[in-house]
Structure 1
Amino acid sequence: MQKLLENYNSILLLLLGITIGSIVGLFFPDSIPFIKPLGDIFLNLLFVSIIPLIFFAISSSIANLESDKQLSKIIYWMTTVFVITIAIAAVATIFGLWIYPVTAIANDAPVDNSLLADTNQNWGDRMVSFFTVGEFSELLSREHILAFVLFSVLVGVATRRSGEAGKTFVSFLNAGNEVMKNLLIIVMKFGPIGLGAYFAYQVHTLGPELFGFYAKPLGFYYVFGIVFFFVFYSLYAYIANGRLGISSYWKNNITPSLTALSTCSSLATLPANLASAKKMGIPNNIASVVIPLGNTLYKNGSSISSIVKIYVAFAILDWNFFEPTTLITAVGITILVSMVAGGIPNGGFIGEMLMISVYGLPNEAIPAVMIIGALVDPLATVLNATGDTVASMLVTRFSGAKFEIEEHNG
């Protein structure tokens, strides 16, 4: 019993903090303005740790790879896993809506048009800002996280190609990686308080809105999303490493799931994912590449919500969603939005604009789907963030690498 408590001590404390936060959010709403700053402080500590953590994790991992062929294999299988599983999420959602159709009720709630204005930028300029920045200092912003990830990859590749002259720099990267891991451990000590405070805010803010006009589509998303979370992620873990894969995934996925649910931020969950990946036995060279890239490019929750949004828009307009061309186009939009929009500020609105241009939707259908997008965010973040580790497990399996599960869970 004592050993069990030692192993799950941090998780139990997180659950206690979140439980207390939920109670406070429900029954003591006047205290939220005083409690939320505690959550913001914790979240800010995570965010300022993420940039150096990503740099050292990715660069040191690539610098220590044996060959360029090994990196190419990881990137190939990562891309394959991302595209196929995002498409699976989209098709499964379509099938779920066909079995259990839901009807949305349009709402005249105002929409922030300043956010929509950002989408007027042409796609060429958007791709340039997606992958690169004009000044080095801009790399250190969370708004340009994919550009920073790609920069870290290039630093790792350049270090490997420097040979003997780069050995000192490799030692620096390895040391920095260890230092940032220990910084994460220190920051997570404040997790129960920080996540509890933020969860109180989430319950207080979103709770009443979940039972309004959007109850049916939201009910579908949350029920389907939870089933998808447990069934499909368990299936992926089994494909990756059999029954041991399932047990190691769920045993070590609790902290990332709670972090994602509390913060509604995939980026804030990234450090917890990297720490959990090691305990799952995922090789460091795979986890350090797939998880940071997946944080931007791999979003199962967004895939499911994209299909639900398109379905709701068609339902509002009384159009036939289940026409074959519409369904194929919906899957294509979903893959594009899930893998591209994540790295763009206000990227979630790219999906709405893409829907308008592809399907010729009238503007009055857009506020409803934007509201749905906001209300499904907690579960969508859990699906987006925790999918990165199970994707890393699949990449480990298909790339021919070996799990180190005995070392970390023995």
Structure 2
Amino acid sequence: MNGTFLKNYGDIIWLLAGIIAGSVLGLVLGPNISVLKPVGDIFLNLLFTAVIPLVFFAIASAIGNVDRSQRPGRVIAVMMMVFVGTVLVAAFLTIVTIWIFPIHQQVVALPGFAEKVQRVSAGDQLTELLTTSEFFQLLSRKSMLPLIIFAVLVGTAVLQSGDSGEPFRRFLNSGNEVMKRLIILIMKLGPVGLGAYFAYQVGTLGPQLFGIYARSMAVYYGFGLFYFIVLFSVYAFIAGGVNGIKKYWKNNVVPSLTAVGTCSSIATIPANLEAAPRMGVPGYISNIVVPLGATLHKDGSSISSIVKIAVVFTMFGRSLTGVDTVLLALGITVIVSIVEGGVPNGAYIGELLMVSVYGFPPEALPPAMIIGTLVDPLATLLNATGDTVAAMMVTRFMKARPDPHPVPEPVTAAS
């Protein structure tokens, strides 16, 4: 049991250990800890350079390998509307929660950080957000969204090339595997790199930093649990009324425990597939929605994405208000939800995208990474268990009938 726990949570434990050790060093040494800042900078630079080819290969290979012979078009279309809809609901309600319980009321903008934020006109921002004028600019971390769009186009072109594009498809697959292994190797340095950077932040900013993280954790876990209990019940009601709520919660216990125990949406797929028929979801829907949902449907990541944005805005003296700011935040959460499940440590792609879109300097990345580490257990619970209630809604919207002989209820020791 201990071996399984360490296997599932080992990376998180080591990251937290590094952060705690860095905090202690920062408190003890104060400003003198700045000697460790280059260690954190080296880690960030490695991550920045590796994530660019990782994103390209991951997205292009995923699209290029779509099986064109299988066209469950209507299910996928309804599924994507449900996925995007719930992600946007989660993100917007998180923004409202932050407006009600603002993180920035407890802190003062970090010294010197606000001056580093780049501000451009709306038209220029839209152009730079979606495109670059030169190919080599796609290789910059400041062009994450143009890179994603380019990767989608390349993957689509490979898909349409048929047999003539097979060698390039194999190249994309190979590159994807190599870059995934590279990011795993770099993240082994995470406890040291993030620990050094956190030590620098604590040493230079002092206790104020802990107030930022404590309040953001209170917002995330408070709203996250509310979303899990109330919003999932609302989704189940939409899918099947009061009976839908009963079916969902009665059969969601095992998937929930699996998600928390493994800290993995992928590992929760078997439990979700077993629970879905008992929730009234026919097999031909659950067999599409649940596996794809583990990669594409991330309500918990949507919530954490907004909290990360709010924390970084706080540290740079900006406010999470304004139509353009909110729309960009919602757009980022949708992209993160779709992209992050296909790559290791995929949430960092969202953090890099946030830094790029809002024009923040590299100093914005470590706080967002730390938030992602601290919220991971609840984020996984929301990500994984949201797939079955999404499958219930897909069933309702398609007016599909449950399987005539669903999986029987599990036999308990008492029975």
TM category, shorter: 0.5 to 0.7
Per-residue CA distance 1:242-295 (angstroms, 9 max, x = gap)? 111111111111111111112211111111111111221210000000110111
Compared CA separation, residues 142 and 390, structure 1 to 2 (3 A): farther
Compared CA separation, residues 247 and 345, structure 1 to 2 (3 A): same
Letter in 1 for 2:78: W
Partner of 2:298: 299
Partner of 2:214: 215
Compared CA separation, residues 324 and 347, structure 1 to 2 (3 A): same
Tell me the SS of whatever aligns to 1:266: coil
Q: Output aligned runs, 1:236-255, within 5 Å.
A: 236-255=235-254
Partner of 1:327: 326
2 CA distance for matches of 1:280 and 1:129?
Answer: 36
Per-residue CA distance 1:197-250 (angstroms, 9 max, x = gap)? xxxxxxxxxxxxxx9552110111001000001111100111101111111111
Q: Is the 8 A contact 1:281 1:408 kept in 2?
A: no
Letter in 1 for 2:96: F
Aligned-residue CA RMSD in angstroms? 3.6
2 CA distance for matches of 1:407 and 1:275?
Answer: 9
1 CA distance for matches of 2:282 and 2:263?
Answer: 27
Letter in 1 for 2:217: L
**TM-score normalised by structure 1 residue count:** 0.60
2 CA distance for matches of 1:386 and 1:137?
Answer: 30
Per-residue CA distance 1:136-188 (angstroms, 9 max, x = gap)? 997998999xxxxxxxxxxxxxxxxxxxxxxxxxxxxxxxxxxxxxxxxxxxx
Q: CA deviation at 1:323?
A: 1.9
Per-residue CA distance 1:25-68 (angstroms, 9 max, x = gap)? xxxxxxxxxx225764999xxxxxxxxxxxxxxxxxx98xxxx6
Q: Is the 8 A contact 1:143 1:344 kept in 2?
A: no
Q: Is the 8 A contact 1:280 1:405 kept in 2?
A: no
Partner of 2:285: 286
1:134 aligns with 2:170: yes
% identical aligned pairs: 46
Compared CA separation, residues 125 and 140, structure 1 to 2 (3 A): closer
**TM-score normalised by structure 2 residue count:** 0.60
Partner of 1:79: 80
Q: Output aligned runs, 1:4-403, within 5 Å.
A: 35-37=2-4, 40=7, 71-103=72-104, 122-123=147-148, 126-127=151-152, 134=170, 213=211, 214-403=213-402
Tell me the SS of whatever aligns to 2:292: helix
Aligned residue pairs total: 279
Q: Is the 8 A contact 1:83 1:335 kept in 2?
A: yes
Letter in 1 for 2:328: T
Letter in 2 for 1:397: R
Q: Is the 8 A contact 1:281 1:403 kept in 2?
A: yes
Q: Is the 8 A contact 1:280 1:408 kept in 2?
A: no
2 CA distance for matches of 1:389 and 1:409?
Answer: 17
Q: Is the 8 A contact 2:268 2:384 kept in 1?
A: yes
Which consecutive unaligned segments of at least 5 residues does structure 1 have?
A: 1-20, 22-34, 44-61, 108-116, 145-210
Tell me the SS of whatever aligns to 2:268: helix
1 CA distance for matches of 2:379 and 2:348?
Answer: 15
Q: Is the 8 A contact 2:224 2:300 kept in 1?
A: yes
Compared CA separation, residues 240 and 42, structure 1 to 2 (3 A): same
2 CA distance for matches of 1:293 and 1:140?
Answer: 19
1 CA distance for matches of 2:287 and 2:215?
Answer: 39
Letter in 2 for 1:235: V
Q: Is the 8 A contact 1:82 1:298 kept in 2?
A: yes
Compared CA separation, residues 129 and 256, structure 1 to 2 (3 A): farther
Compared CA separation, residues 293 and 323, structure 1 to 2 (3 A): same
Letter in 2 for 1:298: H
1 CA distance for matches of 2:8 and 2:101?
Answer: 42
1 CA distance for matches of 2:140 and 2:276?
Answer: 36
2 CA distance for matches of 1:266 and 1:403?
Answer: 24
Greater mean deviation of Cα atoms: 285-294 or 352-361? 352-361
Tell me the SS of whatever aligns to 1:361: coil
Letter in 1 for 2:3: K
Compared CA separation, residues 38 and 304, structure 1 to 2 (3 A): closer
2 CA distance for matches of 1:234 and 1:405?
Answer: 25
Q: Is the 8 A contact 1:119 1:349 kept in 2?
A: no
Compared CA separation, residues 305 and 250, structure 1 to 2 (3 A): same
1 CA distance for matches of 2:6 and 2:278?
Answer: 26
Which consecutive unaligned segments of at least 5 residues does structure 2 have?
A: 11-68, 111-138, 160-168, 181-208, 410-415
1 CA distance for matches of 2:357 and 2:349?
Answer: 12
